[in-house]
Structure 1
Amino acid sequence: MRKIAVFGVSGRMGQMLVREIDAASGASLSAAVERAGHDWIGQDLGRMMGGAARDLVVTDDIDAALAASDVIIDFTAPAATVALARRAADAGVAHVIGTTGFDDDDLAALAEIGTRGHIVRAGNMSLGVNLLVTLARQVAAALGEEFDVEIVEAHHRHKVDAPSGTALMLGEAVAQGRGVNLSDVADRGRDGITGARREGAIGFHAIRGGDFIGEHDVIFAGPGERVTLRHVASDRALFARGAVRAAMWLEGRAPGEYSMLDVLGLGKS
Structure 2
Amino acid sequence: MTRIFLSGASGNVGRTIVRTIVGKEGFQLVGGWCLEAGSDLGTIAGIGELGIKASNDLRAALAESKPDLVIDFSATPVMAENMSVYLDFGLNAVIGTTGLTEDDLAPFKAAVAAKGLRWAVIPNYGLGITLVTDFIKKARAYYPFVSITDRHTNEMANAPSGTAAALAAAAAGDDAGEVKSRESYPGVLGAKICGVPVLAERLPWPGPYSGHTISLARKDEIITIEVQDYTSEIYMDGVFMTAEKIASLPPGSFVRSLGEIF
TM-score normalised by structure 1 residue count: 0.82
Question: Are residue 204 (structure 1) and residue 198 (structure 2) matched?
Answer: yes
Deviations 1:206-246 (Å, cap 9, x if unpaired)? 12112261211211132222112332223321123322221
**1:263 shift after superposition:** 1.2
**How many Å apart are 1:52 and its aligned residue?**
2.5
Residues 21 and 27 of structure 1 are in contact (CA less than 8 Å); yes or no, is this contact kept in structure 2? Answer: yes
Partner of 1:98: 96
Aligned-pair Cα RMSD in Å: 2.7
Q: Measure how far apart 1:118 and its partner are.
A: 1.5
Q: Is the 8 A contact 1:3 1:70 kept in 2?
A: yes
The one-letter code of the counterpart of 2:242 is A
Q: Is 2:224 the counterpart of 1:228?
A: yes
- Residues 8 and 75 of structure 2 are in contact (CA less than 8 Å); yes or no, is this contact kept in structure 1? no
Whether the 8 Å CA contact 1:3–1:27 is kept in 2: the answer is: yes
2:188 paired with 1:192: no
Map of 1:152-191 to 2, 5 A cutoff? Answer: 152-175=149-172, 178=173
Measure the CA separation in 1 of the matches of 2:189 and 2:44: 54
Q: Is the 8 A contact 1:5 1:29 kept in 2?
A: yes
- Cα offset, 1:193, TM superposition: 7.0
Closer/same/farther in 2, CA of residues 6 and 195 from structure 1, 3 Å limit: closer
Relative to 1, partners in 2 of residues 1:142 and 1:114: Cα closer, same or farther, differing over 3 Å?
A: farther
Classify the secondary structure of the residue corresponding to 1:30: strand
Residues 177-215 of structure 1: per-residue CA shift (max 9 Å, x gap): x258x9xxxxxxx661779999x9411011211226121
Residue 83 of structure 1, CA deviation: 2.2
CA contact (8 A) 1:95 1:119 kept: yes
Q: Note if 1:246 corresponds to 2:214.
A: no
Alignment check: 8 A CA contact 2:118 2:247 kept: no
Distance in 1 of aligned mates of 2:188 and 2:129: 33
Consecutive unaligned residues in structure 2, runs of 5 or more: 177-182
Q: 2:138 aligns to what?
A: 138
Counterparts in 2 of 1:30-49, with a 5 A limit?
30-34=30-34, 38=35, 40-49=36-45
CA distance, structure 1, for counterparts of residue 80 and residue 162 of structure 2: 16
| Deviation at residue 79 of structure 1 after TM alignment | 4.4
Match of residue 87 from structure 1 = 85
- Deviation, structure 1 residue 127: 1.3
Partner Cα distance (1:232, 1:128) in 2: 9
Match of 2:17 in 1: 17
Quote how far apart the aligned CAs of 1:155 are.
Answer: 1.2
Deviation at 1:104, TM superposition (A): 4.7
Q: Which amino acid aligns with 1:73?
A: I
Amino acid in the other structure paired with 2:162: G
Runs of 4+ in structure 1 off by over 6 angstroms are: 193-198
Match of 2:9, SS?
A: coil
TM-score by length of 2: 0.84
- CA spacing shift, 1:74–1:223, aligned 2, 3 Å: same
Stretch moving more, 120-129 or 81-90: 81-90
The residue that corresponds to 1:122 in the other structure is 122
Percent identity among equivalent residues?
Answer: 26
CA 1:191–1:25 in 2, change beyond 3 Å: closer, same or farther?
farther
Q: SS of the residue aligned with 2:140?
A: helix
Structure 1, residues 38-73: CA drift from partner, whole Å, max 9, x if none?
3x2122222333442221111123234434211111
